[in-house]
Amino acid sequence: MTRALYSLCGADPQNFFSPHCWKAVMALAHKGLSFEEIPTTYARIRQIGGGFSPTVPVLEDNGRLVSDSFAIALYLEEAYPDRPSLFRGEGGKALSRMVEGYSQMVVHTAIMRIALLDIHAVLDEGDKAYFRESREQRLGKTLEEIAADREAEKAAFPAKLEPIRHMLKFQPFIGGESPLFADYIVFGAVQWLRVVAGLSMLAADDPVMTWFERCLDLHEGRGRTMTAA
Amino acid sequence: MTRALYSLCGADPQNFFSPHCWKAVMALAHKGLSFEEIPTTYARIRQIGGGFSPTVPVLEDNGRLVSDSFAIALYLEEAYPDRPSLFRGEGGKALSRMVEGYSQMVVHTAIMRIALLDIHAVLDEGDKAYFRESREQRLGKTLEEIAADREAEKAAFPAKLEPIRHMLKFQPFIGGESPLFADYIVFGAVQWLRVVAGLSMLAADDPVMTWFERCLDLHEGRGRTMTAA
């Protein structure tokens, strides 16, 4: 049995920083499945399975390829039903899309504006040009223009996590008493920020930090294999 | 069998506008349970069950009192397990707290700033004084000072619903193919805005409006028993 996860890396092949790849890593660890994490630059994504997907993560499980972190979680839930559940039922599966919506549309957009130049800095030379061109086209500004608002974005960041603080008044994880894929969705975003730019904008006693530290402890401290920026 | 829901009303006892009460109304309707909705001004909340709860909704079900919309949903799920589920499993239950976090910390705070004077205007004379004093103390400004930013808040409102639009790319309801309590959590907020101030800030072809119209159609159009402001 071979199982591999193609995961985005920087110039340092052990610098795994992508939020979406971290979601897949934590989903595999949650299911207790061993896998090799294969460092993949943007330029090499197109070589996976002869151009199977324009993005990573891509999971290769016994010859089957699955791309997209949410699709990987759904695949793992179906393929390994006897392992710990990532969703705990159909309601959890459906509502995870709403958590993804919050994470991507609120948390990711803020992190992008905070850490764009930091992300650019960790990429290898070939990827730097691709990243600059694609992001500047998507956002309609140069990376430096976006980074000019960085301090204001950092100051505004803690307030954007209020939905998480509300939830934490009732339970230790988004999944309830124990984590589910929904936790890994938000964990991936915060881990991304931690790895590329650090979490200095969050107070140590912020309940979100307490939850995040709990997530870093999961699965033999898998999240701690990357150090903070 | 008697079943009653104490529900916040304005000077017009048929003006049910509270987001939290609408969550409970929809949860009862989802379970197919008949109930009498009892118009309750702020001043009369303390008379329910001899001062049982400082807030409505309060459900009275065969002599048992339950307050708080989320607690009411949990109670209904346990008391009526053979009726359609409000959560579809433990994952759905846990993740609903995250949806509540988004709804209350992002959507409610925006609506408060948009509709504060409109809410004040629909209350009866006794409640008006209570509402002004408690909200001005909580927010540290006069109602009129907060309302001064109303147009900017209205303009910023559609962007705050991006998490919902993301989710709707994958499914028609937060609950998936059919609604769950998580839908009613967000529905309650949007219904509140619709009833007290109208939804003119949302385009008719906004996917959020399409979802909201689907929710208004549910349970024999229960949400449509209130007209828009």
- Reading the block at residue A148, the tokens are 């000019």
To the nearest whole Å, the CA of A69 is away from the closest chain B CA by: 14
| Mean pLDDT calculated for residue range A17-30 | 98
DSSP β-bridge partners for residue B67: B58
Closest Cα in chain A to B98: A167
Single-letter residue type at A182: A
Q: At CB < 8 Å, which residues of chain A contact B? A: 85, 87-102, 104-106, 162-167, 170-171, 173-176, 180, 182
Nearest CB to B166 within list A90, A101, A175: A101
**Range A198-202 contact pairs with CB under 8 angstroms and sequence separation of 24 or more:** A198/A228, A198/A229, A199/A228, A200/A154, A201/A114, A201/A154, A201/A155, A201/A157, A201/A158, A202/A157, A202/A158, A202/A161
CA A183 to chain centre: 11
Report pLDDT digits (tens) over B144-175: 999 999 999 999 999 999 999 999 999 999 99
What pLDDT, on the 0 to 100 scale, is given for residue B163? 98
Asked if A183 contacts A95 with a C-beta cutoff of 8 angstroms, the reply is no
Q: Measure B98 CA to nearest chain A CA, in Å.
A: 5
Domains of chain B: 3-79 (3.40.30.10)
Whether pLDDT at B1 is above 90: no
Question: Which residues on B lie below 8 Å from A162 (Cβ)?
Answer: 101, 105-106
- pLDDT tens column, B168-211: 999 999 999 999 999 999 999 999 999 999 999 999 999 999 99
Average pLDDT of chain A?
A: 97
Confidence of residue A214 (pLDDT cuts 50, 70, 90): very high
Number of H helices, E strands in chain B: 11, 4
Amino acid residing at A119 = I
Question: What Å distances lie between residue B17 and B12, B119, B198, CA to CA?
Answer: 11, 9, 12
Using a CB-CB cut-off of 8 Å, the residues of chain B touching A85 are 91
Residue B166: list chain A partners with CB under 8 A.
97, 100-101, 104-105
Find which of B98, B102, B168 to mutate to test the A interface (most A CBs within 10 Å of its CB).
B98
Say if CB A49 and CB A58 are below 8 A apart.
yes
Contact B92 A97 (CB under 8 A): no
Nearest CB among B104, B165, B166 relative to A166 is that of B104
Q: Is the ipTM of this complex over 0.90?
A: yes
Mutual orientation of helices B69-79 and B90-102 as an angle, nearest 10°? 160
Helix (H) or strand (E) holding A189: helix A181-196
| Cβ pair A53, A24 in contact under 8 A | no
Question: What percent of chain A stands above pLDDT 90?
Answer: 98
Distance CA B201, CA A98 (A): 22
Q: Which amino acid is at B203?
A: A
Hey, of B74, B85, B95, which one would you mutate to test binding to chain A, going by the most A CBs within 10 A of its CB? B95
Q: Do B176 and A90 touch (CB under 8 A)?
A: yes
Question: How many whole angstroms separate alpha carbon B219 and alpha carbon B80?
Answer: 17
> How many Cβ contacts (< 8 angstroms) between chains A and B?
137
Contact B105 A165 (CB under 8 A): yes
Position A2 pLDDT exceeds 90: no
The string of pLDDT tens digits covering residues B9-54 is 999 999 999 999 999 999 999 999 999 999 999 999 999 999 999 9
Residue B223 has pLDDT above 80, yes or no: yes
In this predicted structure, what is the pLDDT of residue A218?
98
Residue A1 pLDDT > 80: no
Question: DSSP assignment of A71-93, as one string?
Answer: HHHHHHHHH-TTSPPSSSSHHHH
Query: Are A116 and A14 within 8 A, CB to CB?
Result: no
Measured between alpha carbons, how far is B194 from B180 in angstroms, rounded to an integer? Answer: 21
How far does B93 lie from chain A, in Å, by closest CA? Answer: 7
Let me know if A107 is exposed, middle or buried by CB neighbors in 10 A (0-12, 13-18, 19+).
buried
Residues of B in contact with A99 (CB under 8 A): 95, 98-99
Q: How far apart are the C-alpha atoms of A17 and A36, rounded to whole Å?
A: 16
Return d(Cα B18, Cα B24) in angstroms, integer. 10
Nearest CA among B100, B30, B23, B86 for reference residue B55: B23
Contact A171 B97 (CB under 8 A): yes
C-alpha to C-alpha distances, A105 to A129, A220, B161, B201, nearest whole angstrom: 25, 30, 9, 20
